[in-house]
Amino acid sequence: MLRIFNKIFATGIVTESVKPPKDDELEQLGIAIKRHIDSKFAGSIAIREVDAGSCNGCELEIHALNNPYYDIERFGIHFVASPRHADVLLVTGPVSRHMQTALLRTYEATPNPKWVIAVGDCAACGGEFGVSYASCGAVSNVIPVDAVIAGCPPTPLALMKGLLGLIGH
Amino acid sequence: MSASQWTAEFRQQLALGGISVEPIAVAAGFSERAELWQIDSQQWQAFAELAMQQHLRWSAGWAEQFGEQFFVNALFEKQGDFILLRSLVNPLKPELPSQATVYPAANRSERHTQDMFGIKFIGHPDHRPWTRHKAWDKHEYPLRKDFPASGNPQGVTPPDLDYQFIKSHGAGTYEIPVGPVHAGIIEPGHFRFQAVGELILNLEERLGYVHKGIEKIAEGRTPESLARLAGRVSGDTTVGHAWAACMAMEQAAGIAVPPRAALIRGILAERERVANHLGDIGAICNDVAFVFGQMQFTRLRENWLRTNALVFGHRLLMDCVVPGGVKADLSEASGHLIKQDIVQLRKELTDVITALDLNTSLEDRLYTAGFLADEIAAGYGTVGYVGRASGQNFDVRRDAAYSPYDRVTMRVALENQGDIASRFWVRHKEIKAALRLIEQFIDLLAPGDLIADWQMPAPGSEGLGIVEGWRGETVAYLRFEADNKISRYYPRDPSILNWPALEKLVLNNIVPDFPVCNKSVNGSYSGNDL
Ligand code: SF4
């Protein structure tokens, strides 16, 4: 037990401060920010992440948001297990045809008002996989998308800035 | 016994059993580690029976349309030597006897080939589709050349409600369906449990949800474009799959990778291994609610990824391996930085692992849970850390060494308890071994080219890349057509061999321990579904 405490104290706090992005940065991130979102979510959002066909690269970086460097929960942003508890769907991947119905049902299960963020180049435009017999391509081909965070995969910092931009911190 | 000896003896034994195989000459690089044998389709299963008797391991299976014909391929391994068995099947009546009756490892692979090509495996123990849900019709076969990559999709692809899951009977048993959308930040797949009380009686996996048509959209690509696609077969194995695909392309083109590039590939691959193992160990701690371990390991992983970004320009190392070599050089300063990092990581690992090792709450959950017996691991051809935690002493880096691993001696991490703790400790040992390898590779770096000049491969030339990705043996097969274009690409992720092991190792565990059992295996969904 002592060893654990020693390590905790020796490690200290590694969480880094993140400045909320400026408007031009948001544009760079490819986020079409809507001004009224602030009032809707009042500074805190619950996210349901949906892998709709990703290669898992995007998931690895979304995971990183919970590591002690980024610690995204300190901004009131947390990941929830059910779409019924979610304000925002974070969708990755080109939407595989085998996941199309599952994604539509997840979308329907999310209460209004809801926002959909397409994460990664695949989700944004189909990426390396495009549209095929097996892939619907971009998330917007299946459900309405409110914001896009580009990158293959987007870095945790890009994800963080995108999300902070969305809740207007 | 040397390589050629056992294959020669094996051929004699086959001949005694009335099975004739005909060795075929292929591209020079290809045959260094693998022989290509052709066999009559009627003897496909009989070959497997003898191969099983001689303890050959079934490694991969795929098919290919070549002109009007179909080739069916199966890859076998023994003592680090590979035999690629090939049979021609009649295009008018595409069928051959199943090898899945002999090798359970071939089961899902043959079903994939059936779904994608319409080649029937006679006597196959399971007639259900595997990769096909409802995105294409039962009588359409996406990997046939006359099937357009765009397919004929409906507006909305319906869910696959026809799949016949195993049913449980009897008082007190019940079923738990899970997925495809899971509770965590994780890839989609479906698990069907049959349980009594909390005890798991049976688990059935239903995958294929993230099938993106990778094999089909590979057709017609240039080498660079194929390498990019290969790097996205499974995002956590971008180096492993890109390397296997590039190795196969380089064989087909008959070019050798410069020594400096090979060393940098080795550094990239070992960095990928360390990053994933750090993440997995953290995630295993998380799944038994041991937050200290999770936070420490995710922190160490983040440090490691930041160095990746700094040195190689990408946190996950995507697109660093390119046909003929590598994209980025490693400066002396960067080499120094990496070595300093390693010293620091070793020290921290010692601190954290010592703290974990003495912790009873971890011990209670990880020891004896998720037990995979050696015989079952061998029976399913389990590879990588899952295999090595259940006594399967195989590692491509040592047993079929390729450059740069042929320049160093390495110890393969092994455990033999077969439980979650074993898979935890194998990862820890592999991190330590990888750190030593990275240091050795940096020391071996001498000035030289980063990329070999590309030579356009002759139409029809083929290549077979086999590397030890972080999950285990990773295979890529491909063939070129005219104009430097790919006509067939098949990546075999180690997960394809390891997923069935999960169905076995959860038996008699309790449902709440499933997440940690699953995480201890950490199969790739994307790499499985293609
Ligand atoms: S954007 Fe890149 S990392 Fe994300 S799913 Fe697509 S290929 Fe993978």
pLDDT tens by residue, B174-212: 888 998 988 888 999 999 999 998 999 999 999 999 999
pLDDT of residue B29: 62
Determine contact: B203 vs chain A, CB below 8 A.
no
Q: How far apart are CA B487 and CA B221, in angstroms?
A: 8
Q: How far apart are CA B358 and CA B446, in angstroms?
A: 43
pLDDT of residue B326: 97
Q: How far apart are CA B195 and CA B447, in angstroms?
A: 61
Sign of CA pseudo-dihedral B26, B31, B34, B35 = positive
Q: How many CB pairs under 8 A join A and B?
A: 174
CA–CA min distance B453, chain A (Å): 25
The amino acid at residue A18 is: V
Omega prior to B177 cis, within 30 of 0: no
Helix (H, G, I), strand (E, B) or coil at B21: strand
> Tell me: the pLDDT tens digits for B424-453?
999 999 999 999 999 999 999 999 999 999
pLDDT of residue A3: 81
pTM here is 0.94
Q: Which residues of A touch B184 (CB under 8 A)?
A: 81
Q: How far apart are CA B242 and CA B230, in angstroms?
A: 5
Task: Give me B87's structure tokens.
Answer: 């049979």
DSSP-H helix ranges across B91-143: 107-117
Q: How far apart are CA B345 and CA B339, in angstroms?
A: 10
Q: Are strands B173-178 and B120-122 parallel, antiparallel or unpaired?
A: unpaired
Helix (H, G, I), strand (E, B) or coil at B436: helix
> Tell me: the pLDDT tens digits for B80-103?
999 999 999 988 899 999 999 999
How many CB atoms sit inside 10 A of residue B399's CB? Answer: 17
Determine contact: B295 vs chain A, CB below 8 A.
yes
The pLDDT confidence band at residue B1, using thresholds 50, 70 and 90, is: very low
Ligand 1, atom 5, residue with closest C-alpha = A54
pLDDT of residue A35: 46
Chain-centroid distance of CA B274 in Å reads 17
Give A2 or B174, the one with higher predicted confidence.
B174
Instruction: Assess: ipTM above 0.90.
Output: yes
Task: Give me B349's structure tokens.
Answer: 């690992």
pLDDT of residue A36: 42
Beta-carbon contacts of B506 under 8 Å, excluding residues fewer than 6 positions away, are B200, B203, B370, B513, B514, B517, B518
> Tell me: the pLDDT tens digits for A91-119?
999 999 999 999 999 999 999 888 899 99
Q: How far apart are CA A52 and CA A96, in angstroms?
A: 6
Nearest CB to B233 within list A55, A100, A101? A55
DSSP state of B474: E
The pLDDT confidence band at residue A25, using thresholds 50, 70 and 90, is: low
pLDDT at B2 over 70: no
Determine contact: B81 vs chain A, CB below 8 A.
no
Distance, first Cα to last Cα, chain A:
39
Task: Give me B150's structure tokens.
Answer: 């765009």
Q: How far apart are CA B373 and CA B391, in angstroms?
A: 9
Paired residues of B466 in beta bridges:
B475
Nearest CB to B181 within list A67, A100, A106? A106
Q: How far apart are CA B398 and CA B262, in angstroms?
A: 16
Q: How far apart are CA B257 and CA A20, in angstroms?
A: 45
